[in-house]
Structure 1
Amino acid sequence: MGFTQQEISRIREQSYRMEQEGGMTPEALQYIYDKKLFHLFVADDLEGKMTPLPEAIRIFQECARIDGSFGWLVTIGAGGGYFVPFMTDEIGRNVYAKPDAVIAGSGATTGTARKVEGGYIVNGRWKYCSGSLYATTFTANAVLEREQAADSGEAPEIVTLIMRPDQVRIEKDWNTFGLKATGSHSMIAEDAFVPDEMTFSFTEVRSHEDELLYKYPFLPFAQTSFAGVAMGLADHFLEAAESYLQARGNDSVLSELEEQKEEFAHQKDAFYRVLDKSWEELGQKGKLTPEMEQRISIECITAAKASVGCGLRLFPLLGLAACMEDTEINRAWRDLQTACQHALLRA
């Protein structure tokens, strides 16, 4: 599932506009819909395009190489497909089975849920909801309110919620210096009623229990996804840096860049060897061993460090012109630094 050079050029032609406007253009979004990139982890019977994890991570890397925000949003949007087995067939069809279906949300537990007849009354504010400007469904975690005293010693009970766009309000507070077009704003719920059937638990499989992808543990699933984005962002930075240096005839720094590209290629190969091995193990055994989970986690963090290292090592050698925010190389550098701040990519 590749992109033609014409498609790549069209998306990149819109990168500056998307950054300035803080969101995807309709044309860029349409590429995602047409190629079913938000549905890479949605079961085929829900109008998805179920894709083996190693193949999907390579797609995320390619999307991020094209444009940082584009790649981040494809990855986050596709990741929502991981929730399919925790929903009933009926709810899953309502959430996923349409061409523009995509989930935005947060894993943070920064909301509250009060039990009432038939569901919950929900209040909360959740940060960093990438894709919030076009999401068709929102998910969030909330702490179940209890009548007992707060110091009762009981662990809080978490409720995972599925909400419609009309149940949340988007606060446009994403003001970072990179990945500006991801629309990773906060969402706010105020006394929203969420029916019981619009909640789920990661410990209760309700459908699609035979799909191999859904047996891949969530933490390494998320880490490999973000590592793929980080590597794609580094690819974009190295590509932009090479073009920038060639235009200026800077042979000494070009030599440094070639060395960096070679080292980075080795790291990417190492990452994919482990990822492919983990997928093979999952297919053979139906689960990953703890040793493999740890190995995957280490490889993801190592790949992210190598990715951000490309920028940290080369950017100081590029001169003042590379500091101009309207240049491709500056945008690629800022996107790379921003993505690699994610907690799952740091040791």
Structure 2
Amino acid sequence: MGKVLDRIEQYADELRAEGTEGDRLMRLSDTSAKRLRDSGVIRMFQPKEFGGQEAHPREFAETVMRIASLDGATGWVSGIVGVHPWELAFFDPQAQQDVWGEDPEMWMASPYAPMGVARPVDGGYILNGRWSFSSGTDHCGWIMIGAALGGDDGKPLMPPQAMHVLLPRSDYDIDQESWNVVGLRGTGSKDLIVKDAFIPTHRTLSADKVMDGRAPKEAGRTETLYNFPFSCIFPLGITSSLIGCAEGALAANIAAQRERVTVYGTPIKDDPYVLFAIGEAAAEIAASRAAILETVDRFWDMTEKGQEVTFEQRAVGRRTQTAAAWRAVRAVDEIFARSGGGALQLSTPLQRFWRDAHAGLQHAIHVPGSIFHASALTQLGGEPQGVHRSMI
């Protein structure tokens, strides 16, 4: 991590300043994207045979947090695009060669939600559909997206069967008008449109096998990184960026409050109520950071020893991760509410961190209902079914 984080620190002032441009463009600026490429953050989970680092997930999380503390959207793209190399390691070797063979710096966008249908044909599938929320997609040359397996009629099979599939940039369109939002604007999370694209079988992978851990074993991956639970590593980049946003908001708030005086002439340094709010928020954000990193470290140690990370442990891990996100955003609300009217100025970074944090909380990976249900039911000796097992 040292080298990647050192490179990020070299660009810190620039990444912080370029966040304003990304917010205006509604995508990362080309300069910010280049800085991420040069830093190596997107290759932290990439296999070594393709020039990757196979880094510890904790190192990745800490790096994403730091980037997001400079600019939320840049951290978000790092956290999402940076996880895709981990899964590509399970695909057929030819698929890995297709993506990285000529350019090991190649990025892949997503999403994994099966918003399109793949109809079987000789040698592969014909894919059609429209996918929303493809973060960082303008800077990616491939996509790794979810697809529902269909029948000859082009309709999804029942019960549903999901795949993850790879397409090159020539096989899909980006709807450039589909992203106009209040937060995480710089992520450029636009819609993708696929019409009658042929996908060879070697560029497909069963989603169930990825989620339950069969995919790395069938691919012959023995490294600890690639046998790490999907339900911990996939949310990791997303929640790490959200916690980084909260850390950025806290830093911006402290910087603004140092010399601030209220309309009544009281220096903020002499206002015990604001000081309490800042202190409490700082503690909550630190707790969120510590919680997800502790889970990562514990799951890593178990995986490294060849121990199974059980469904109950994974469910509790997801509960911890989801709660960490909500705790961090609530803390941002507490400091923003005590930052005065000046914090509303679009020229200040605090309002962007506030918007980005709330936008990040809308990701499906942060919905607490089914996760809290599953973790509690499992600990009570029950057996969650259906949606309550999803993403665990």
Which of these residues, 98, 101, 110, is aligned with residue 105 of structure 1?
Answer: 110
Conserved 8 A contact 1:308-1:337: yes
Which of these residues, 317, 324, 334, is aligned with residue 296 of structure 1?
Answer: 317
Partner of 1:211: 223
Quick check: 1:116 aligned with 2:121? Answer: yes
Q: Secondary structure at the match of 2:160?
A: coil
Quick check: 1:179 aligned with 2:184? Answer: yes
Which of these residues, 47, 55, 62, is aligned with residue 58 of structure 1?
Answer: 62
Give % identity: 24
The whole-number CA distance in structure 2 between the counterparts of 1:87 and 1:314 is 45
CA offset at residue 186 of structure 1?
0.5
Partner of 2:265: none
One-letter amino acid of the counterpart of residue 302, structure 1: A
Partner of 1:19: 23
Which of these residues, 232, 242, 246, is aligned with residue 220 of structure 1?
Answer: 232
The whole-number CA distance in structure 2 between the counterparts of 1:148 and 1:328 is 51
Change (3 A) 1:259 1:282: same
Deviations 1:79-121 (A, max 9, x none): 1012223312222122135243111121111112222222222
One-letter amino acid of the counterpart of residue 227, structure 2: K
CA offset at residue 148 of structure 1?
7.7
Quick check: 1:166 aligned with 2:178? Answer: no
One-letter amino acid of the counterpart of residue 298, structure 1: R
Change (3 A) 1:341 1:155: same
The whole-number CA distance in structure 1 between the counterparts of 2:152 and 2:21 is 51
Change (3 A) 1:147 1:116: closer
One-letter amino acid of the counterpart of residue 214, structure 1: Y
Q: Secondary structure at the match of 2:89?
A: helix
Quick check: 1:321 aligned with 2:342? Answer: yes
Conserved 8 A contact 2:136-2:188: yes
Deviations 1:317-344 (A, max 9, x none): 2222212233211111111111122121
Which of these residues, 64, 69, 87, is aligned with residue 83 of structure 1?
Answer: 87
The whole-number CA distance in structure 2 between the counterparts of 1:112 and 1:157 is 10
Conserved 8 A contact 2:26-2:187: yes
Which residues of 2 match residues 1-347 of structure 1 at below 5 A? 1=2, 2-3=5-6, 5-97=9-101, 98-147=103-152, 154-172=158-176, 173-202=178-207, 203=209, 204-205=215-216, 207-249=219-261, 250-251=268-269, 252=271, 253-347=274-368
The whole-number CA distance in structure 1 between the counterparts of 2:319 and 2:284 is 18
TM-score when normalising by structure 2: 0.82
TM-score when normalising by structure 1: 0.92
Deviations 1:192-223 (A, max 9, x none): 12222222224244535112122122122122
User: Between Structure 1 and Structure 2, how many residues are aligned?
Assistant: 346
One-letter amino acid of the counterpart of residue 276, structure 1: D
RMSD, aligned α-carbons: 2.2
Q: Secondary structure at the match of 2:194?
A: strand
Conserved 8 A contact 1:18-1:25: yes
Conserved 8 A contact 2:243-2:328: yes
CA offset at residue 272 of structure 1?
2.2
Conserved 8 A contact 2:224-2:300: no
Conserved 8 A contact 1:38-1:101: no
Gaps of 5+ in 2: 210-214, 262-267, 369-392
CA offset at residue 144 of structure 1?
2.8
Deviations 1:48-79 (A, max 9, x none): 12101111111111111111011001111111
Conserved 8 A contact 1:36-1:99: no
Q: Secondary structure at the match of 2:337?
A: helix
Conserved 8 A contact 2:110-2:134: yes
Q: Secondary structure at the match of 1:49?
A: coil
Change (3 A) 1:254 1:189: same
CA offset at residue 20 of structure 1?
0.5
Change (3 A) 1:218 1:315: same
The whole-number CA distance in structure 2 between the counterparts of 1:129 and 1:330 is 24
